[in-house]
């Protein structure tokens, strides 16, 4: 193995830069050359890349976003896209490819690997933490802490004005951010796609809380748990509370990575190079029981990650 390629793909996540730095710093002393495709798979398809060295990646550790930039490349869902990606990798003589991204990116990576035989290692980076086979992903901890800081501030004004706030957090398909930030913020209600809810019951819960003398509250809602405007409207109409809506949006994707996101990025980045050198062909760097282990990339990109119902029930029990 002489030349490895790296790309950051899909939604960016704080810590992607720290992972890139770790990959380069682990690869160069082992005699490998490293290229980085720009703008994720879009840059791969356009054959846009830069050579990376350990001096260049110095200073990236604390930066949010991704130095290599990213994109959502629809073309990778087509056969033409996959075959173009294979041509570019082969044309450049790439011996191993490291994809820092989420499960959509890993699906395309598996197809590239199957079509070309080029070893590919996935480094899971997604604020959503929705990748099977790993307990956590790069960027998740940062996003949860960003959302938590915002919700703590919202809690202050909610209490002062005796209002209920519906706070929408990211999580298009899954509710892992909503669950963890909801528990940490003591949210009175947490709405996630994984747990069906009846809006009447949500209203009753808030009315019950009000009867016990609590005059404000926070409803944390994942994007994928329904229309937050409708939820706000229903709560306002049926609970007697004045209700406000806050959509946290993309602030959760940016910002300096937390120590936890950086440590994970360092470990996973270094492990991805090690896995390539060990001859692994299609794996993801995963955390299981606190250790970094290889997990089949296909498993990671096709299996649905289980939702922690116990944690959800705990959150609900503690905030009633
Ligand atoms: O990367 C995951 C995610 O942040 C989801 O939580 C969110 O729904 C989506 O990306 C937003 O994507 P985009 O930035 O492409 O609008």
C-alpha span between 14 and 141 (Å, rounded): 9
For residue 310, tell me if it sits in a domain. no
Q: Is residue 317 part of a domain?
A: no
Same-domain check for residues 232 and 292: no
| 146 and 135 both lie in a single domain | no
Q: Please tell me whether residues 133 and 199 are part of one structural domain.
A: no
Range of the domain at 279: 3-139+257-302
Q: What is the CATH number of the domain that holds 66?
A: 3.40.50.450
Would the CB of 171 count as within 6 Å of ligand 1?
yes
What's the farthest any 2 CA atoms get from each other in the chain? 69
Over residues 18-68, the pLDDT tens digits come to 999 999 999 999 999 999 999 999 999 999 999 999 999 999 999 999 999
Eight-state DSSP code of residue 35: E
Residues 205-244 have pLDDT tens digits of 999 999 999 999 999 999 999 999 999 999 999 999 999 9
Please indicate, yes or no, if residue 67 is contained in any of the structural domains: yes
pLDDT digit string, tens, across residues 128-144: 999 999 999 999 999 99
Considering the domain architecture, whether residues 225 and 290 belong to the same structural domain is answered as no
Predicted confidence at residue 237, as pLDDT, reads 97
The number of beta carbons lying within 10 Å of the beta carbon of residue 290 is 6
Q: For 78-116, how does the pLDDT look when each residue is reduced to its tens digit (9 = 90+)?
A: 999 999 999 999 999 999 999 999 999 999 999 999 999
Query: For residues 269 and 282, what is the distance between their CA atoms, to the nearest angstrom?
Result: 15
Q: Which percentage of the chain shows pLDDT scores above 90?
A: 99
Residue 196 per-residue DSSP state: -
14 lines ligand 1 (CB under 6 A): no
Question: Is residue 309 in some structural domain?
Answer: no
**pLDDT (tens digit per residue) in 268-299:** 999 999 999 999 999 999 999 999 999 999 99
In the chain, % of residues over pLDDT 70: 100
User: How far apart are the CA of 69 and the centre of ligand 1, in A?
Assistant: 15
The protein residue whose alpha carbon is closest to atom 14 in ligand 1 is: 11
Q: Whose CA is nearest to atom 9 of ligand 1?
A: 172
> What CATH number is associated with residue 149?
3.40.50.460
Which of 53, 58, 95, 128 is catalytic? The answer is 128
Tell me, using a 6 A CB cutoff, whether residue 178 lines ligand 1.
Answer: no
Number of domains in the chain: 2
Atom index in ligand 1 nearest the CA of residue 177 equals 6
In a domain, 238, yes or no: yes
| Whether 92 and 206 share a structural domain | no
* Whether residues 134 and 7 fall in one domain: yes
Q: Measured between alpha carbons, how far is 207 from 41 in angstroms, rounded to an integer?
A: 49
Whether residue 130 lies in the annotated active site: no
Is the CB–ligand 1 distance for residue 253 below 6 Å?
A: yes
Are 157 and 192 found together in one domain? yes
Do residues 133 and 261 both lie within one domain?
yes
Radius of gyration of the chain (CA): 21
**192 shares its domain with 85:** no
- Separation CA 227–CA 231 (nearest Å): 6
Q: Are residues 263 and 233 in the same domain?
A: no
**Same-domain pairing of 127 and 8:** yes
Ligand 1 probe mutation, 39, 172, 181, 224, most atoms within 8 A of CB:
172
Q: For ligand 1, say whether the CB of 168 is within 6 Å of any of its atoms.
A: no
Say yes or no: 181 and 290 in one domain. Answer: no
To test ligand 1's pocket by mutation, which of 73, 106, 170 has the most ligand atoms within 8 angstroms of CB? Answer: 170
**Is the beta carbon of 130 within 6 A of some atom in ligand 1?**
no
Q: Is residue 48 part of a domain?
A: yes
pLDDT at 268: 99
**Mean pLDDT for all residues in the chain:** 97
Q: Is the pLDDT of residue 320 over 80?
A: no
């Amino acid at each position: 193995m002489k030349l490895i390629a790296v790309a950051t793909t899909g939604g960016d996540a704080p810590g992607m830069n720290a992972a890139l730095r770790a990959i380069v710093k682990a690869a160069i002393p082992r005699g490998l050359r490293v290229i980085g495709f720009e703008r994720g798979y879009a840059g791969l398809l356009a054959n846009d890349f830069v050579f990376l060295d350990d001096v260049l990646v110095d200073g990236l550790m604390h930066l949010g976003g991704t130095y290599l930039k990213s994109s959502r490349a629809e073309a990778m869902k087509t056969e033409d896209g996959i075959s173009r990606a294979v041509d570019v990798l082969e044309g450049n003589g790439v011996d191993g490819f490291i994809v820092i991204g989420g499960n959509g990116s890993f699906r395309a990576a598996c197809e590239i690997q199957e079509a070309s035989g080029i070893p590919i290692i996935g480094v899971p980076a997604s604020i959503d933490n929705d990748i099977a086979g790993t307990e956590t992903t790069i960027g998740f901890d940062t996003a949860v802490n960003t959302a938590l800081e915002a919700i703590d501030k919202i809690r202050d004004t909610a209490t002062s004005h005796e209002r209920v706030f519906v706070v929408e957090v990211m999580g298009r398909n899954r509710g892992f951010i909503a669950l963890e930030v909801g528990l940490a913020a003591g949210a009175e209600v947490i709405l996630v796609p994984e747990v069906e809810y009846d809006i009447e019951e949500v209203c009753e819960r808030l009315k019950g809380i009000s009867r016990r003398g609590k005059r404000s509250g926070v409803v944390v809602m994942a994007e994928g748990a329904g229309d937050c405007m409708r939820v706000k409207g229903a709560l306002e109409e049926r609970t007697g509370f004045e209700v406000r809506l806050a959509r946290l949006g993309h602030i959760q994707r940016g910002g300096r990575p937390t120590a936890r996101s950086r440590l994970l990025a360092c470990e996973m980045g270094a492990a991805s190079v090690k896995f390539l050198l060990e001859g692994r062909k299609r794996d993801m760097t995963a955390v299981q029981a606190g250790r970094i282990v290889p997990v089949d990339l296909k498993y990671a990109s096709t299996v649905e990650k289980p939702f922690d119902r116990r944690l959800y029930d705990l959150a609900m029990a503690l905030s009633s």
